[in-house]
Structures are given as C-alpha cells and as structure tokens.
Chains A and B, each alone.
Chain A
C-alpha cells in the first residue's frame, strides 16, 4: 500500500485550509490534488501525493543526504571491492 508519488506544486487555490487544492506536476502529467493536509506548502514545493491528497512535503535538504553519505562511503566501498 502507500503508492505516493512526488510532484511539484504549480498553482494553489485560496480559501480555507481543508478545501485548498493545487495543480501538481508529476514529470509532465498535471493533476489537481487536495492540499488540505500540507498547509505550509507553497508553489514550487514538492509534495507526496496519495490517492488525490498530498500527505507530506518533500524536504529537499534531507533528500540529498543519502547521496552525501554515498559519496563518503564511495571510497570505503572501493577499498572493500
């Protein structure tokens, strides 16, 4: 379960929090989703969308960490190879 896909918010509607919607771009496919559960999200942010609702914002700084780690261990992996 939990097929949630990351997409970038293009536009957002106004209005009360639970009714907020946005157009989200998933690599070329654009879909309107509910942004009710990500009140802090802004256009340009990436969100994870599951069955038509955004359940989380993607933290881009955290997203990089595994690649920094991989660079660190890159040398280690080569030594053991």
Chain B
C-alpha cells in the first residue's frame, strides 16, 4: 500500500506575545525581567533602582560622613492558598521584606504593611494572618510602624493581597551587589532548595498530594549580620524566591558579567522535593524558596563563613555549591551528576508543570 504522505516543512510564524500582562510576567523568569527592563526602569530609572538588587541602599541628604546608610525594600504577596504548611501570607510578607533588607547587609528595623482585602473575606482569617505577622515581626526583631487597608469588591481580589515595605540600617561596610563579585569567589548556599514551591503546590487541593513538606519561610538577617560583623568578605547576597536558585544565579551572572560554575551534586534537595518535581516535571533548580540565600564570599573566607552560617538553625546545612570563574560571559554552567556540563538559563515564565 503506497504511502501518500507529503512532507511540508512548514510552521506558522506566531505573533509577538500581545499587549497584555500574562501570568508568566510574574514568574520570576525572562518575561518578568523584560517587564522590569521595558516598563519600570525606563520610567523610574535612578541609581538606586538601576543597581537591580533586592533592596535600595540610600544616603541621607546632607548627612555627616560616617552617618548610617539606610536600606529600603518592598514586596507584594499574592500567594494562593493564604494558609499553607509552614506559613501563611502574613509570615511570608514579613520575612520576605526582612530578607531583602538583609541581602543589602542591613539590620531590618521597620516595616509598613498595605492590605488589599476582598469583600467577603472571613475576619477570622484576617486575624490569623495579622497574628502571624506579629509573631514573625517579633522573631525578626522589626516593628510594624505604619499601614493601610483597602477593600475591593468580591471577585476582584484573592482574599488578601499584601504589600510590605521595610527600612533597615546598613551594617556592611562594602557594597553588596553583583558588581562586587570577583573571579575566585566561592558560592555558598544556606540550605536545601525547593521546599516552598512544592509546599504551595501540595497545598493546592487540585493536585491531590499528601506531603509532610513545609515551606522554608524564615528570617535570614541573623546569619547574614553575623557574617558581616565577623569580618567575612562578602561580595554579594541574594535570597532565593520565585525562579529559585537558578534564577538568582542567572541574574547575578548577567549583572556581574562573570561565569558562575556550579556542581549539581553539591546542591541539596530533599528527597520528597525531588519526588514532587519528578511527578510534575519541574526542575528543583527553579522552584521557589522563602528562607534560603546564596552568598558570594572571598575564597579565603569561605570555610569560616560556612562555620558561621552553620551556627544558625535556618542555615545549619549551609554548603558550598560552586565558584566564580574567570570568563566574562555572564553564564551559569553546571557540572551534572554524570560529569557532563550544561548551561543554566532563566525559564521563560511560570514553570508550567510538565506533564507530557
């Protein structure tokens, strides 16, 4: 029987992603980066913003030399569900901003909170969130000093949208930023990755997971400030959030224009996180975290830095995962467990659970 197949090597040229915001723009990957570069930076560009770091380090105008510098940061939280194993939107919001300040080498002092509440939200839930924020603020040593509340119609908000902004006093004497990273620096990771993202996915009942996993949501200022106070030469800090370890390293590599070299076997991942990633087709490298950070430290201080980090519960499993290379290509390469080398890049947007 003859086969009348005709081969046409054709494919339509798709249009550019249209003129609307996509969920992928919030994923922490390439599309998020493009939104920031195309929309926000051109509008607001100033030196603090253009440093493209987690928080802004600010000088008081007309300050006497030796005056403290301030750091300021903000984050908004839209997590669903509001309550999940290991935390809730309130705890996330407090620790998230605290951690961004810590990544600037600052001791966090004051937070603001802006609530956008959906009509119909149970007051009990609001109480739970606020109580959680109070407890988190106490643990982190910060005061919530100002806030705002708005209510929107039912259907126009997911229960609670929460923004926190924070101010801290910078204790680092040298700037902590990608530009300060040097060839030869060691890349340290404060603990195992992927817990938060998987805990959230597991909490979404549509996936039907049973798991003991809890979010790793935690404050990071104590171990960071100890590094600084004990004179470790830290060049850059970044806490891992959306986009996970992979996104954080790619951003630093591109901003510093240096090659970062990772060892896959050195990156700790819990077995249940690995299992969930296998089932959903996710790469643990890109799964969200909330209580983890990477530190780029001078090679000679690396062992001492790890010892300091391991004194704290939140970073007791700190380890070295790689180093900064000489090449100025701004790439992240990773030696796989099989010994081959691959490039680590930013995912486009949301890491869609790969099924098929």
The short answer to whether A and B are in direct contact, CB under 8 Å, is yes
Residues of A within 8 A of B (CB): 1-3, 5, 23, 26-32, 49, 51
Nearest CB in chain B to that of A1: its residue: B356
- Interface presence of B248 (CB below 8 A): no
Nearest CB in chain B to that of A28: its residue: B272
Inter-chain pairs besides A26-B279, A29-B275, A49-B279, 7 sampled, C-beta below 8 Å = A3-B354, A23-B210, A26-B276, A27-B278, A29-B210, A31-B209, A32-B208
Out of A27, A30, A32, name the residue touching B274 (CB < 8 Å). A27
User: Does B202 lie within 8 Å of A29, measured CB to CB?
Assistant: yes
- Interface presence of B340 (CB below 8 A): no
Q: Is the interface of A mostly helix, strand, loop or mixed?
A: strand
- Interface presence of B212 (CB below 8 A): yes
Out of A2, A23, A31, A32, name the residue touching B279 (CB < 8 Å). A31
Give the shortest distance, in Å, between A33 (CB) and chain B (any CB). 9
| Chain B: interface residue total (CB-CB under 8 A) | 20
- Interface presence of B146 (CB below 8 A): no
Tell me which residues across on chain A come within 8 A of B281, comparing CB atoms.
3
Residues of B within 8 A of A (CB): 202, 207-213, 270-272, 274-276, 278-279, 281, 354-356
Please, could you name 5 A-B residue pairs with CB atoms under 8 Å apart, sorted by A? A3-B355, A5-B275, A26-B276, A26-B278, A28-B213
User: Does B275 lie within 8 Å of A28, measured CB to CB?
Assistant: yes
Q: How far does the alpha carbon of A1 sit from the alpha carbon of B193 in the complex, in Å? A: 26
User: Does A28 lie within 8 Å of B212, measured CB to CB?
Assistant: yes
User: Does B355 lie within 8 Å of A30, measured CB to CB?
Assistant: no
User: Does A29 lie within 8 Å of B276, measured CB to CB?
Assistant: yes
Q: How far does the alpha carbon of A3 sit from the alpha carbon of B352 in the complex, in Å? A: 14
Q: How far does the alpha carbon of A27 sit from the alpha carbon of B212 in the complex, in Å? A: 12
Q: How many A-B residue pairs have CB under 8 A?
A: 47
Give the shortest distance, in Å, between A23 (CB) and chain B (any CB). 8
The winner among B202, B272, B274, B279 for most chain A CB atoms within 10 A is: B279
Given A31-B208, A31-B209, the answer on whether A26 and B354 have CB atoms closer than 8 Å is no
Tell me which residues across on chain A come within 8 A of B202, comparing CB atoms.
29
The winner among B272, B281, B354 for most chain A CB atoms within 10 A is: B272
Nearest CB in chain A to that of B276: its residue: A29
Give the shortest distance, in Å, between B181 (CB) and chain A (any CB). 36
Out of B208, B271, B354, B356, name the residue touching A28 (CB < 8 Å). B271
Given A27-B272, A28-B272, A29-B272, the answer on whether A5 and B208 have CB atoms closer than 8 Å is no
The winner among B270, B275, B355 for most chain A CB atoms within 10 A is: B275
User: Does A27 lie within 8 Å of B208, measured CB to CB?
Assistant: no
Closest 6 pairs between A and B when the two form their complex, measured CB to CB: A28-B272, A27-B275, A30-B210, A26-B275, A29-B275, A1-B356
Give the shortest distance, in Å, between B179 (CB) and chain A (any CB). 41
Q: How far does the alpha carbon of A28 sit from the alpha carbon of B272 in the complex, in Å? A: 5
Q: How far does the alpha carbon of A31 sit from the alpha carbon of B212 in the complex, in Å? A: 12
Q: How far does the alpha carbon of A27 sit from the alpha carbon of B274 in the complex, in Å? A: 8
Tell me which residues across on chain A come within 8 A of B271, comparing CB atoms.
27-28
Tell me which residues across on chain A come within 8 A of B212, comparing CB atoms.
28
Nearest CB in chain B to that of A10: its residue: B210
Tell me which residues across on chain B come within 8 A of A2, comparing CB atoms.
356
Given A1-B356, A3-B355, A51-B356, the answer on whether A30 and B278 have CB atoms closer than 8 Å is no
Q: How far does the alpha carbon of A60 sit from the alpha carbon of B278 in the complex, in Å? A: 20
User: Does B279 lie within 8 Å of A5, measured CB to CB?
Assistant: yes
